[in-house]
């Protein structure tokens, strides 16, 4: 859990692309810490769900990077075993929480299986609530959720994942799996976007739209 008072780290202590330095305020979680925590989450998942046929689902589009990182960590110690995690992907269609299938097997194949839903960040939790309801309709044996980040926000509907990487304050963060209007996705670290960055990319998104 990262406290509300956590100041973060100065940008000049890390490798941050020069062209976006003025768009960022602080480095909040370093890349090395992200990788280490992802490996620990993978171990926790395997301890809880290992040894069973598990289907991993990803949501939303930006979450594919963390999804791949987590599953690589899960597979690494088990490449010579019979345990495996077939991948089926889901993407967030709209911010309203609507879910559409973009690939993978029919949801009816989830019946009787253990299901792991992987998310990069849970903010309000509406998308996850919608997806959980959709998956539960197909009567899986068990459904658990892993999220790298969970934001403390008054807008939250109260959903708490089974596996949490970091619980963070209500700050606007960006990194390689979480962009701002499709910008700032080339960062290795979780960073807090500056007011300059918010204004800049909001106006660019509006002009391009």
DSSP string of 34-84, one letter each residue: HHHHHHHHHHHHHHHHTTS-EEEEE-SGGGHHHHHHHHHHHHGGGTTSS--
pTM score? 0.82
Please tell me which residue in 48, 123, 162, 179 is annotated as part of the active site.
123
| In the predicted structure, residue 187 carries a pLDDT above the cut 90 | no
Half-sphere exposure of 92 (CA within 13 A, CB side): 22
What is the per-residue pLDDT for 163?
96
Q: How many residues does the chain have?
A: 209
Q: Where are the domains of the chain?
A: 32-169
| Predicted confidence (pLDDT) per residue in 27-46, tens digit | 999 999 999 999 999 989 98
Distance CA 144, CA 128 (A): 11
H-run or E-run covering 142: strand 142-151
Worst-scoring range by mean pLDDT, 36-45, 64-73, 180-189?
180-189
Query: What does the pLDDT read at residue 78?
Result: 59
User: How confident is residue 2, by pLDDT bands cut at 50, 70 and 90?
Assistant: very high
Predicted confidence at residue 101, as pLDDT, reads 44
Task: Please report which confidence band the pLDDT of residue 62 belongs to, taking 50, 70 and 90 as the band edges.
Answer: low
User: pLDDT value at position 57?
Assistant: 84
The CA distance from 147 to 68, in Å, is 13
Cis peptide upstream of residue 60 (ω within 30 degrees of 0) = yes
pLDDT at 51: 65
Which residue blocks in the chain are alpha helix, DSSP H?
A: 31-49, 64-75, 126-136, 195-208
> Is residue 10 annotated as a catalytic residue, yes or no?
no
Residue among 75, 67, 84 at smallest CA distance from 119: 67
Which residue, among 159, 155, 163, 200, has the nearest Cα to 181 in the 3D structure? Answer: 200
The hierarchical CATH code for the domain 32-169 is 3.40.50.2020
Percent of the chain surpassing pLDDT 70: 76
Q: What separation in angstroms does the CA of 29 have from each of 12, 148, 185?
A: 14, 11, 15
């Amino acid at each position: 859990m990262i406290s509300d008072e956590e100041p973060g780290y100065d940008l000049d202590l890390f490798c941050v692309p020069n062209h976006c330095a003025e768009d960022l305020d602080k480095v909040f979680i370093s890349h090395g810490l992200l990788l280490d925590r992802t490996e620990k989450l993978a171990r926790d998942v395997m301890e809880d769900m290992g040894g069973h046929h598990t289907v991993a689902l990803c949501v939303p589009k930006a979450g594919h990077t963390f999804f791949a990182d987590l599953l690589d960590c899960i597979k690494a110690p088990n490449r010579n075993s019979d345990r495996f995690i077939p991948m089926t992907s889901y993407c967030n269609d709209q911010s309203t929480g609507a879910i559409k299938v973009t690939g993978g097997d029919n949801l009816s194949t989830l019946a009787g299986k253990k299901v792991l839903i992987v998310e990069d960040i849970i903010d309000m939790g509406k998308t996850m609530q919608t997806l959980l309801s959709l998956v539960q309709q197909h009567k899986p044996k068990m459904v658990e959720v892993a999220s790298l980040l969970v934001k403390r926000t008054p807008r939250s509907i109260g959903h708490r994942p089974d596996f949490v990487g970091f619980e963070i304050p209500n700050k606007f963060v960006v990194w390689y799996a979480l962009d701002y209007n499709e910008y700032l996705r080339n960062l290795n670290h979780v960073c807090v976007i500056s007011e300059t960055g918010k204004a800049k990319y909001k106006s660019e998104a509006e002009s391009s739209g």
